[in-house]
Homo-oligomer: A and B are copies of this chain.
Amino acid sequence: MKVAKFGGSSVADSSMLEQVASIIESDQDRKFIVVSAPGKRYGEDVKVTDLFIQLAEQYDSGQNYEETLFKISQRFLSITEELDLSKDIVGRIENESRRLLRETTNSSHLMDALKAMGEDSLARILSAYLNKRGTKATYVNPKDAGVIVNSEPLGAQILEKSYEKIYQLRNREGVVVIPGFFGYTESGVLTTFPRGGSDISGSIIAAGVKADLYENFTDVNSVYCVNPKIVDKPKEIHTLTYKEMRELSYAGFSVFHDEALIPAFKKNIPVCIKNTKDPNCKGTMIVANKKDNGQPVVGIASDEGFSSIYVSKYLMNREIGFGQRLLSILVEENISFEHAPSGIDDMSVIIRTEDLKSDKEEVLINRIKNELQVDTVDIIHGLAMIMLVGEGMSNRLTVASKATKAFAEADVNIEMINQGSSEVSMMFGIHEHNIKAAVKSLYREFFH
């Protein structure tokens, strides 16, 4: 059995939904379908979820929201009409929205409930449409599916006990269509996952029903080995390990939110990223283990927005606990560090610049100066991290050599190198303005 998740671009209009239906019908194993809300149909189009957010905000601030509600209805109406489905579905969306606005007192609950309406409505539409096409399908609300979460500040987290209930979905007849993006707390409050939440829903369902495969349908043919915004038509990656995917998504690979991998990863369910518009293209498989194909590097990730805290103190290396005290100041300031290369009398701590509000910067510098009695402390901004990722890397002598050669050829100075802990990645710190030149040169070196 397979779980297939279709993203917003895959369900943006009726023609896409026809495509989705035929994809489902083309493979008996595609029993569990998870859907997002309709995304953009063209560049300036507005995602349905964003319309619902607008609706909630307008209501909150006492503005008139009728036009927004009308837009939402029209968006779904065009779909139902083109698919020749009953108008009741659209009527239900409008009534349900008004009911929520009327009855929900807690404004964050209201926001969640409205945000979820896009996915929920589309799941109802898709299951109706499948039945109309003669494919037995049932809409199942996440509460009935057993998606029980605890509400966290950073978004809902699935509860382990959910999986047992979800497993029961296997007993349902026909295709099961479940809206992504949200679950329910034990007290029955609808709660949404973080952005990219439908990927998480699909991953949870796949883990719960112990699927043979979790298919994640999106709008790209595969994961590329490097950011296509930097390198034109880069090579496709056909197989990735969870570990590789996770390291890649850490530094700028946005195809798939690595958090969404966790449920599938834990239950060892292979994931396949496919293109709805080109379902026969093999896509990218994400698996636990793969056989060595002699290619040490599978991908080059790059990300900007890092800063470095440089601290120097003569005879630092004689001071047991210096590094620990330095990091504990960061912890107390609630800053997580990415890397901490150290010399004999100096140490640098690489952090995300966003974690460093200007006032915090001053606090940090003063605390480090006063509490650690250092000779110098400097904060350098505008750093970028480039990460070479590949399971085959640990036993390849030449990776570091080829990489550093590529930087030199691109005239890019390496500010830092971090290799030695992860066996599947090697990290280089450079100045942001060099990022394109460096990535291009690395791509030439490893993929040509």
Question: Do A422 and B320 contact each other (CB < 8 Å), given the known contacts A397-B412, A411-B397, A413-B395?
Answer: no
Does B397 contact A246, Cβ atoms closer than 8 Å? no
Question: Do A342 and B343 contact each other (CB < 8 Å), given the known contacts A327-B323, A334-B320, A420-B415?
Answer: no
Does A419 contact B416, Cβ atoms closer than 8 Å? yes
Does B413 contact A419, Cβ atoms closer than 8 Å? no
User: So how many copies of this chain end up in the complex?
Assistant: 2
Does B425 contact A419, Cβ atoms closer than 8 Å? no
Q: How many angstroms from the CA of A424 to the CA of B344 in the assembled complex?
A: 10
A335: nearest residue on chain B (CB-CB)?
Answer: B320
Does A340 contact B323, Cβ atoms closer than 8 Å? yes
Chain B min CB distance to A170 (Å):
27
Question: Do A250 and B317 contact each other (CB < 8 Å), given the known contacts A397-B413, A419-B414?
Answer: yes
Any B CB within 8 A of the CB of A109: no
Does B337 contact A340, Cβ atoms closer than 8 Å? no
Does B346 contact A422, Cβ atoms closer than 8 Å? yes
Any B CB within 8 A of the CB of A215: no
**Interface positions of A from 365 to 417, Cβ below 8 Å from B:** 395, 397-398, 400-401, 403-405, 407-408, 411-417
Inter-chain contacts of A320 with B (CB < 8 A): 331, 334-336
Q: How many angstroms from the CA of A435 to the CA of B343 in the assembled complex?
A: 20
A329: nearest residue on chain B (CB-CB)?
Answer: B324
Does A246 contact B344, Cβ atoms closer than 8 Å? yes
Any B CB within 8 A of the CB of A41: no
Inter-chain contacts of A319 with B (CB < 8 A): 336
Does A422 contact B336, Cβ atoms closer than 8 Å? no
Chain B min CB distance to A413 (Å):
6
Inter-chain contacts of A247 with B (CB < 8 A): 343-344
Any B CB within 8 A of the CB of A188: no
Chain B min CB distance to A366 (Å):
19
Any B CB within 8 A of the CB of A348: yes
Interface size class of A (residues with CB under 8 A): 35 or more
Question: Do A419 and B422 contact each other (CB < 8 Å), given the known contacts A343-B247, A397-B407, A401-B408?
Answer: no
Does A346 contact B419, Cβ atoms closer than 8 Å? no
A348: nearest residue on chain B (CB-CB)?
Answer: B421
Inter-chain contacts of A427 with B (CB < 8 A): 343
Any B CB within 8 A of the CB of A321: yes
Q: How many angstroms from the CA of A248 to the CA of B300 in the assembled complex?
A: 34
Any B CB within 8 A of the CB of A330: yes
Inter-chain contacts of A246 with B (CB < 8 A): 344-345
Chain B min CB distance to A414 (Å):
5
Q: How many angstroms from the CA of A397 to the CA of B405 in the assembled complex?
A: 9
Does B407 contact A341, Cβ atoms closer than 8 Å? no
Chain B min CB distance to A188 (Å):
28
Q: How many angstroms from the CA of A27 to the CA of B53 in the assembled complex?
A: 87
A331: nearest residue on chain B (CB-CB)?
Answer: B321
Residue in B335, B337, B344, B421 whose beta carbon sits within 8 Å of that of A346 in the complex: B421
Q: How many angstroms from the CA of A334 to the CA of B321 in the assembled complex?
A: 8
Does A341 contact B416, Cβ atoms closer than 8 Å? no
Contact with B along A114-142 (1 / 0, CB 8 A): 00000000000000000000000000000
Inter-chain contacts of A407 with B (CB < 8 A): 397, 400-401
**Interface positions of A from 308 to 341, Cβ below 8 Å from B:** 308, 310, 315, 317, 319-321, 323-324, 327-328, 330-331, 334-341
Any B CB within 8 A of the CB of A418: yes
Q: How many angstroms from the CA of A334 to the CA of B319 in the assembled complex?
A: 11
Residue in B340, B343, B350, B420 whose beta carbon sits within 8 Å of that of A429 in the complex: B420
Inter-chain contacts of A315 with B (CB < 8 A): 262
Inter-chain contacts of A340 with B (CB < 8 A): 323, 340, 342
Any B CB within 8 A of the CB of A347: yes
| 5 examples of A-B residue contacts, CB within 8 angstroms | A246-B345, A323-B327, A343-B425, A346-B422, A418-B418
> Which 6 pairs of residues, A with B, have the shortest CB-CB distance?
A416-B420, A343-B422, A341-B420, A324-B327, A401-B404, A321-B331
